[in-house]
């Protein structure tokens, strides 16, 4: 199968490519498309056979559920058995946007979407292409990131093609995504709500709307299915071994002395970072700008024929926690 690629205006998506992609979804095909976080790999969320193709294309484990994307709050309500007041307050504040809510599912949601669990994860993306596609298709779209399982998330169309050429029907190329990290995932089935995946929306921002929440970013033991995507120990990882270092300069020197080819991600305000024979990338010192460039930069280093990637560990402050979470999972051995 040759993957069809259609270029689309990211701000004012044209009718023809959106209609073509919607038709592919309605007949059970797979479409990759940009969101404000990363590129998603979408299928009709109400078609179990179509969603199964996502798992096959990604090599995704069956116990890892998939987020369902909607274009309207009413569309989300149709998928869940309970739509609590707290969910309404969060949707009013953060939707469309990078916040996923985990709620009790209705029977209309296929088991494969939820990994057989009792809940479904839903969100409304804040990207004109995503919203236009969902509305044109007239159905909710199940969509994890458009990459092979556990590997780097795609923030550009070329990242998707590198991993998914020939595995999916169509790619909507809407240029680079703006956010660069996956959505925050909040479980509303527990009291207080549980933050299952750190993301672009912080704990403090959520607590300002609904009060205290707890953080539980590790998968619960003894459960057959995960309650949320993004909870695997190793995830978001380049093929090149990656490690984090409090003192990147010292670690890079050690690796160079051992004869290794090394790439380094260093904060731009970290002082002297230039070392001979090292592919060094200066990253922004501001968290949202760092996040926007994070995966794209790792894709470049991963394709550079290196033996190791060393990342200067960002500060242990709340606005950096999502990035530190991705780095921890990316540096976990296979």
Partner residues linked to 80 by β-bridges: 105
Nearest to 235 by CA among 126, 148, 169: 148
Q: How far apart are CA 166 and CA 292, in angstroms?
A: 27
pLDDT, tens digit, 9 for 90 and up, residues 314-329: 999 999 999 999 999 9
- Residue linked to tokens 């149709």: 78
Residues 242-330, CATH architecture: 3-Layer(aba) Sandwich (3.40)
Partner residues linked to 122 by β-bridges: 68, 101
Cα torsion 75, 223, 110, 164: sign? positive
Q: How far apart are CA 66 and CA 44, in angstroms?
A: 12
Query: For the chain, what is the largest distance between any 2 Cα atoms, rounded to a whole number of angstroms?
Result: 60
Cβ atoms of 42 and 50 within 8 Å: the answer is no
Alpha-carbon distance values, 115 to 137, 241, 314 (Å) = 24, 30, 34
CB atoms within 10 A of CB 163: 23
Low pLDDT (below 70) residues in the chain = 217-224, 269-275
Nearest to 3 by CA among 175, 172, 170, 173: 170
Q: Write down how long the chain is.
A: 334
Q: 3-state class of 78 per DSSP?
A: coil
Q: How far apart are CA 191 and CA 250, in angstroms?
A: 45
Domain ranges for the chain = 4-215, 242-330
Q: Given this chain, do its domains 4-215 and 242-330 carry the same CATH topology?
A: no
- Report the top-level CATH class of 4-215: alpha beta
At 249 the pLDDT is 87
At 113 the pLDDT is 98
At 218 the pLDDT is 64
Q: 3-state class of 98 per DSSP?
A: coil
Cβ neighbours of residue 49 closer than 8 Å, sequence gap 6 or more: 28
At 1 the pLDDT is 82
At 223 the pLDDT is 56
CB atoms within 10 A of CB 92: 10
Q: How far apart are CA 232 and CA 210, in angstroms?
A: 27
At 238 the pLDDT is 96
């Amino acid at each position: 199968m040759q993957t069809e690629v259609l270029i689309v205006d990211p701000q004012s998506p044209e009718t023809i490519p959106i209609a073509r992609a919607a038709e592919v979804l309605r007949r059970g095909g797979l479409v990759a498309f940009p969101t404000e976080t990363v590129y998603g790999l979408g299928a009709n969320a109400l078609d179990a056979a179509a969603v199964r193709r996502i798992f096959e294309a990604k090599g995704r484990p069956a116990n890892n559920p998939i987020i369902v994307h909607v274009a309207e709050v009413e569309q989300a309500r149709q998928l869940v058995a309970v739509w609590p007041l707290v969910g309404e307050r969060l949707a009013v504040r953060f939707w469309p946007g990078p916040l996923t809510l985990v709620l009790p599912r209705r029977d209309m949601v296929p088991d494969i979407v939820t990994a057989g669990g009792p809940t479904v994860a839903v969100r409304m993306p804040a990207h004109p292409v995503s919203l236009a596609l969902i509305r044109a298709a007239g159905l909710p779209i199940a969509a994890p990131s458009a990459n092979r399982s556990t590997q780097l998330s795609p923030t550009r169309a070329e990242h998707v093609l590198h991993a998914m050429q020939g595995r999916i029907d169509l790619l909507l190329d809407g240029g680079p995504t703006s956010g660069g990290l996956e959505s925050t995932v909040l479980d509303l089935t527990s009291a207080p709500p549980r933050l299952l995946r750190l993301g672009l929306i912080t704990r403090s921002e959520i607590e300002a709307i609904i009060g205290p929440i707890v953080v539980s970013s590790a998968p619960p033991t003894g459960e057959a299915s995960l309650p949320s995507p993004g909870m695997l120990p190793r995830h978001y990882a380049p093929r090149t071994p990656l490690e984090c270092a409090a003192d990147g300069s010292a670690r890079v020197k050690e690796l160079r002395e051992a004869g290794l080819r090394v790439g380094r991600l260093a904060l731009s305000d970290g002082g002297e970072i230039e070392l001979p024979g090292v592919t060094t990338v200066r990253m922004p010192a501001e968290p949202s700008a760092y996040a926007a460039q994070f995966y794209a930069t790792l894709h470049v280093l991963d394709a550079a024929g290196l033996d190791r990637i060393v990342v200067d560990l960002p500060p242990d402050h709340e606005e950096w926690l999502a990035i530190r979470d991705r780095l921890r999972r990316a540096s976990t051995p296979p």
